[in-house]
Amino acid sequence: MIAVSDERSRARGDVRKVMQRFTFPAAMIGDAKVNGFGEPDALPITYVIDAQGVIRAKFLGGKPQVTEKSLSDAVIPLLPAK
């Protein structure tokens, strides 16, 4: 999991303070490097990416809503079988 924020420059200090409490990586969008995923279509956006780096699910602008069930439905099939 990684969080990326697109806050206005005047709020960057406050956002960085909040990010320091996260237990996972976080960055400001202006600091992010270009990648194969392209520019976000909308915010918020949630990607589920498999072990090979392929996007397997995309929750765009909160639609469909990101819930425990929607994430479980997207992630559990990607986990190794026990």
Q: What is the pLDDT of residue 14?
A: 84
Q: What is the pLDDT of residue 11?
A: 76
Q: Which residue has the higher pLDDT, 24 or 61?
A: 24
Parallel, antiparallel or unpaired: strands 45-49 and 55-60: antiparallel
> Mind listing the pLDDT tens digit for each residue in 28-55?
777 766 667 666 667 777 888 888 888 8
Q: What is the pLDDT of residue 44?
A: 75
Distance CA 67, CA 49 (A): 17
Instruction: Write the CB contacts of 48 (distance below 8 Å, at least 6 apart in sequence).
Output: 55, 56, 57, 58, 71, 74, 75, 78
What's the chain's length in residues?
Answer: 82
